[in-house]
Amino acid sequence: LLSGGVDSAVVVHRLKEQGIDPTLFYIRIGMDNDEGDCSAEEDIEMCIYIARKYGLPFEVVSLHREYWDHVMEYALRTVKLGLTPNPDMMCNKMIKFGFFEERWGHAFDKTATGHYATTTERNGKIYLSTARDKKKDQTDFLASITYGQLCHAMFPIGNLPKSEVRRIALEANLPNARRRDSQGICFLGNINYNDFIRRHLGERPGPVIEIETGRKLGEHRGLWFHTIGQRKGLGLSGGPWFVVRKNIPDNVIYVSRGYDTALQYGTELPLTEMHWITPSGASVLGTVGSPLKVSFKNRHTPDFITGTLLAGDNDGEFMLTSDKPVQGIAPGQFAVIYTPDRRICLGSGLITCLLYTSPS
């Protein structure tokens, strides 16, 4: 799978060095209107150059509608509820390793991508494991894929630091060797995220309240423009101000002032819809039902947090208790679970925090 970026181009180079002649695919997901284009034409030009340079077949495939129905509809539905979505996780599960696999990838031995991740085999099972470059590691974006999807995947640059990927690209004279990494939601292109949300969900003004005093500081334009832990974009003076809680039924955002306010932090992350990538993967931690020591992430960051995971009364429900206070626990996001040594990514659970009520 080519994106037009340097990472997937170096994947092609490495595969060719190993004597493999891959078929190259580019997935178009941007809508054919003013909803964004993700610089698709420039990306495709880069991909065509790579294909010609290495004498490989190349095909552009379209998953426009599937991306809208299964990624963007999910994102809009989630933010409308006042929650914080993770479109990158959904895109990997449903598009790159989902619909693409069903329609094209299944005809090949493996699907290789430019993700910074690796795999590990233990006792005859394959596990998703972290990349050598911890700052670039993308296992948290892959933590909802299935075991079948993982077994069909290859991550040829997962054992390389980003600096080495750039060096290989420069030595191979790849046209995108110095191209900047993409940021944000891909298909939006140059469209502002808030403008996109406003177009589809409109505005619903409500009060912004200082949580400690109950004092109204201003108005927000809609809960869906804000997330727990957010600092910028509040339009308040005398800060810094952080979003620390939402009251969805009453359409209220609560904020607290200062970088060190304790209200930004919590230690309990209630999880639901727990997904283990490798069947019985949790068994590497110990006996499920007893407290399990884990490392985890609750956002895309190179830093891990240690904690304890304990199964709840209902299937798929767990309580993740952090060993230290966690900033910005955002319901709707995912807690990604790793082994204590931070080597293996076992899966993820949806955060269903109790911050969505009025403060007592």
| pLDDT 10s digits, 193-225 | 788 889 999 999 999 999 999 999 999 999 999
Tokens 């329609």 locate to 103
Q: Which of 114, 139, 116 is nearest to 46 (CA)?
A: 114
Please report the beta strands in the chain, taking only residues with DSSP state E, as ranges in sequence order. 24-28, 58-62, 111-112, 118-122, 125-129, 153-154, 206-210, 216-220, 241-247, 252-257, 265-276, 292-297, 305-311, 318-327, 334-338, 344-351
pLDDT recorded at residue 77: 93
- Sign of the torsion formed by the C-alpha atoms of 187, 193, 196 and 197: positive
**Regions of the chain where pLDDT drops below 70:** 31-39, 182-191, 353-360
- Number of C-beta neighbours around residue 262 at 10 A: 10
- Copy the structure tokens of residue 16: 């060719």
pLDDT recorded at residue 219: 95
pLDDT recorded at residue 203: 94
- Copy the structure tokens of residue 188: 């939006």
Q: What is the pLDDT of residues 151-186, one digit of tens each?
A: 999 999 999 999 999 999 999 999 888 888 765 555
Assess contact for 223 and 230: CB atoms under 8 A.
no
Residues β-bridged to residue 111? 153
- Helix (H/G/I), strand (E/B), else coil: 295: strand
How many angstroms separate the CA atoms of 22 and 3, rounded?
15
Q: What is the pTM of this model?
A: 0.90
How many angstroms separate the CA atoms of 102 and 111, rounded?
12
Largest Cα separation within the chain, whole Å, is: 67
pLDDT recorded at residue 357: 46
By annotation, the residues acting in catalysis are 91, 186
